[in-house]
Structure formats: structure tokens, C-alpha cells
């Protein structure tokens, strides 16, 4: 920007430690440049922005869009803490274990959760996951159309998650709405109300499991020790909060965006249908292209890095969802290329806060895709239908009307 620092401070509320050339206006919740092609339009909108820039929207915060810089920041917990993850800042930020706990304190909690998300446990779930995917797809295949989000991708991974946690499946739609409302919340009051609602769900479930233990994650947490002691009730609820938000939303969103793109790629569909061994590669390409998470950090120690003056209290949004779209990391980054050898992305983050459920998430998307292509080898987006989307710290697709030809 050519305006002076004083003018910027006066007109936009830019703090004095931010240089004029580092300012790029972008609203992470409602930027008008974002379209139904969320990740593609996001990348286009940020193409002229610095790798690290300050936006005055939503209280003012930094945004980081380059993969190596994001990796450095999310690993540097002594300067960039995960203890606040809300933009704009709120007086009493949500406390989610282990997501908003910095190392090394988060490690025992991660260790307590990891066994349920290990490759062995995920492999044991695979036959049941195929049963669920088959059932849901068979419900729509003869109709020749469906809303993929409502009828498939919101039900399949969420059903698996709810069974894993021990939640009643008849509450699926209700719980999905709660999760969506949480991600749309901005005020401390709304976050507290919705967070309390979620923890109330698990508080009730804990009371039931105390009387009727089952082979589910809530029962497991109630019988888990950390550092030689039992987890407290509040710790379990804080763990359940982050599991709920991730389990109710993330895989639904990644698979939805991936199928939105596949609907525009008939040649890729034909190859996947003819050779199902290509599906895992296609799934990983979809994951690269369609990250949905942007992870905030709060600066807890003044530091100068990469020409930027980070000051205590600054919020920093790491745009994990855009790393796969960076042409410096991936050649022809916007292309859906199932033959791509190296797929660079941070869709599941990295370092001490690598997503615990990434093995399960990949398996869910792969299994859903394999079972879909067995029954619906060719499909397309319904012409003229609105998709709609949510952006922010977690991107989501609201609807995906698809259609296909039904065999006689």
C-alpha cells in the first residue's frame, strides 16, 4: 500500500508494528471473492498477498499462506501458542484438549487418544465402514440423483464417529447443526453457549457409561490414566469437545469438496472406474486440493521473523487449506492429477498438533469413494444448482446436488 503508516493506523486500525506493504484486506468469514470453488477462489484471492500479511478484518490478525512458514509456526509453540484459537479474540477462549494445549503438556493426552486411531484399530473398522457406505449409497443409486452432502458425506463419516464415541445415531442431524453453529459463532456468548451444549451431551453420556460401560471412546477415556492418574471429568469433556467438532465436520467437508471436483473431471472418473487401484491416489489428490482447516495461534513472545514483527497478543491464522494450492510446492497446483508423485499439503497439519484422526479420515474417504464407484462410475453436478459454503477456520460445503444415468 502507498498510504502512510499513520494513515493506516487511523483509517483501518493497523497497529504500528505492521508495515504498510504487509497489509492485505481479507475477511476470513465473508470475503466476497470466495465462490463455491472455495479452495480455488481462495488461492486466487490471495495470489497478490505477501506470504505473511496483516488483515484489518475481524479485529486484525496475521495470515500465513506458505507451507514452510506455517510448518515453522505450528512447531514453534514457545512463541506461537495454541492456547487461543479464536479469531477475533474472545475474553474466555474455548479450552479443547489436546488441541489448545502446547507441548509437552499435550503429549500425555495425545497418547491417551492415539490407540483408538491407530492403523490397527482403523483396519479393524474397515468392514463395518464398508457396510455403512454401501447402505447409504444403495439408498440413492436408483434415484439417479442426490444431495451428496446431506445424504452421503454428512452421514457416512459422522455415523462412524458417533458409533466410535458411543453417541445415539438418531441425533445425527441435531448434532450436525450444533457443530455448524459452533463454527459460525463469533461472540464469546455464542461460543460458551454452544460449547456448553456439546459438553452437556457428553456429560450426560458419561453418567450413562458410569452405569453401563461399553466398548466406545467415552468409556475408554473414563478408564484412562494420564501421568499415573485418572483423567478428570473436565479433562474428558474438553477432549470430547474437540473430538465432536472434528468428527462431526471435517471428513464431511473434505469428501464433499473432493466429489464436487470429481464431478467436473469425467476423464478422471473414467480412469478410477476402470482401475479401482487408482482410487487411493485420487483420494490423496483430493485431500491435497481440498484442505478445510485454518489453524490460529496467539503470539506469546515478541519476535521478528521473515521481515515481520510479531507482537504479544497478535493472532496468527495459518492457512493449512491453501498449502496444497501453492505452485512453489506442487507443479500445476490447481490441477487434479492422480499421477502426481509428490503431493505436498498440510491438510492434517503437522508437528505436535498433527491431526490424530488422519489415518481414519483417509480410510473413510477411500472406502466411501471405492464403494461409490462400484455403483456410480460416472456422475456430474446438477446444472444450475447452488452449492453454498462456509469459510472461516473450517471450510464447508453446504450442498452438492449430483446426478447420474441410471441403467435400465
Q: Is a pLDDT exceeding 60 seen at residue 11?
A: no
Cβ atoms of residues 288 and 300 within 8 Å: no
**So what's the pLDDT on residue 312?**
98
% of residues, the chain, pLDDT over 70: 97
Rounded to an integer, the average pLDDT of 162-188 is 91
The string of pLDDT tens digits covering residues 67-79 is 999 999 999 999 9
Q: Is a pLDDT exceeding 60 seen at residue 175?
A: yes
Q: Give the mean pLDDT of the chain.
A: 94
Q: Is residue 130 part of a domain?
A: yes
**So what's the pLDDT on residue 164?**
94
Q: Is residue 408 part of a domain?
A: no
Q: Which of 190, 178, 185, 182 is nearest to 58 (CA)?
A: 185
Q: Is residue 19 part of a domain?
A: yes
The x, y and z cell numbers of residue 379, run together, are: 456422475
- What domain range includes position 201? 5-403
Q: Is residue 277 part of a domain?
A: yes
**So what's the pLDDT on residue 3?**
42
**So what's the pLDDT on residue 4?**
47
Q: How many domains does the chain have?
A: 1
The band of 347, judged by pLDDT with boundaries at 50, 70 and 90, is very high
The string of pLDDT tens digits covering residues 396-405 is 999 999 999 9
Q: Is residue 69 part of a domain?
A: yes
Q: Is residue 27 part of a domain?
A: yes
Rounded to an integer, the average pLDDT of 176-194 is 89
**So what's the pLDDT on residue 218?**
96
Weakest mean pLDDT among 30-39, 177-186, 193-202, 398-407 = 177-186
pTM tops 0.75: yes
The string of pLDDT tens digits covering residues 106-131 is 999 999 999 989 999 999 999 999 99
Q: Is a pLDDT exceeding 90 seen at residue 168?
A: yes
C-alpha–C-alpha distance, residues 352 and 296, integer Å: 14
**So what's the pLDDT on residue 12?**
61
Q: Is residue 89 part of a domain?
A: yes
Q: Is residue 205 part of a domain?
A: yes
Q: Is a pLDDT exceeding 50 seen at residue 187?
A: yes
Rounded to an integer, the average pLDDT of 27-42 is 96
**So what's the pLDDT on residue 152?**
97
The band of 408, judged by pLDDT with boundaries at 50, 70 and 90, is low
Rounded to an integer, the average pLDDT of 192-212 is 95
**So what's the pLDDT on residue 188?**
83
What's the CATH code of the domain at 357? 1.10.630.10
**So what's the pLDDT on residue 2?**
38
Q: Is a pLDDT exceeding 60 seen at residue 7?
A: no
Amino acid at each position: 500500500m502507498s498510504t502512510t503508516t499513520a494513515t493506516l493506523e487511523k483509517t483501518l486500525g493497523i497497529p504500528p508494528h505492521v508495515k504498510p506493504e504487509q497489509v492485505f484486506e481479507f475477511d476470513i468469514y465473508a470475503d466476497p471473492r470466495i465462490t463455491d470453488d472455495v479452495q480455488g477462489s481462495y488461492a486466487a484471492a490471495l495470489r497478490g498477498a505477501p506470504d505473511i500479511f496483516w488483515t484489518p478484518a475481524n479485529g486484525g490478525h496475521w495470515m500465513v499462506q506458505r507451507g514452510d512458514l506455517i510448518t515453522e509456526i505450528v512447531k514453534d509453540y514457545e512463541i506461537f501458542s495454541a492456547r487461543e484459537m479464536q479469531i477475533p479474540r474472545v475474553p474466555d477462549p474455548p479450552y479443547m484438549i489436546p488441541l489448545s494445549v502446547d507441548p509437552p503438556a499435550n503429549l500425555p493426552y495425545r497418547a491417551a487418544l492415539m490407540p483408538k486411531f491407530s492403523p490397527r484399530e482403523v483396519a479393524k473398522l474397515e468392514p463395518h465402514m464398508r457396510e455403512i457406505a454401501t447402505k447409504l449409497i444403495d439408498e440413492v443409486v436408483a434415484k439417479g440423483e442426490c444431495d451428496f452432502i446431506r445424504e452421503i458425506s454428512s452421514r457416512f463419516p459422522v455415523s462412524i464417529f458417533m458409533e466410535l464415541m458411543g453417541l445415539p445415531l438418531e441425533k445425527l442431524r441435531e448434532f450436525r447443526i450444533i457443530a455448524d453453529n459452533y463454527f459460525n459463532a463469533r461472540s464469546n456468548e455464542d461460543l460458551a453457549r454452544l460449547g456448553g451444549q456439546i459438553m452437556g451431551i457428553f456429560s450426560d453420556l458419561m453418567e450413562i457409561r458410569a452405569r453401563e460401560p461399553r466398548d466406545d471412546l467415552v468409556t475408554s477415556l473414563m478408564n484412562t490414566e494420564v501421568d499415573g492418574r485418572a483423567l478428570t471429568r473436565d479433562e474428558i469433556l474438553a477432549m470430547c469437545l474437540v473430538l465432536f467438532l472434528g468428527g462431526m465436520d471435517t471428513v464431511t467437508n473434505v469428501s464433499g469438496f473432493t466429489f464436487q471436483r470429481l464431478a467436473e473431471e469425467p476423464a478422471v472418473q473414467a480412469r478410477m472406474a476402470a482401475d479401482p487401484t487408482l482410487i487411493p491416489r485420487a483420494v490423496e489428490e483430493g485431500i491435497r486440493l481440498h484442505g478445510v482447516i485454518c489453524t490460529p495461534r496467539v503470539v506469546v513472545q515478541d519476535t521478528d521473523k521473515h521481515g515481520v514483527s510479531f507482537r504479544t497478543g497478535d493472532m496468527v491464522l495459518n492457512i493449512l487449506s491453501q498449502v496444497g494450492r501453492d505452485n512453489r510446492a506442487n507443479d500445476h497446483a490447481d490441477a487434479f492429477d492422480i499421477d502426481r508423485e509428490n503431493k505436498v499439503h498440510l491438510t492434517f497439519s503437522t508437528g505436535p498438533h498433527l491431526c490424530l484422526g488422519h489415518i481414519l479420515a483417509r480410510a473413510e474417504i477411500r472406502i466411501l469413494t471405492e464403494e461409490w464407484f462400484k455403483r456410480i462410475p460416472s456422475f456430474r453436478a446438477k446444472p444450475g444448482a447452488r452449492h453454498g459454503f462456509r469459510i472461516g477456520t473450517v471450510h464447508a460445503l453446504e450442498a452438492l446436488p449430483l446426478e447420474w444415468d441410471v441403467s435400465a
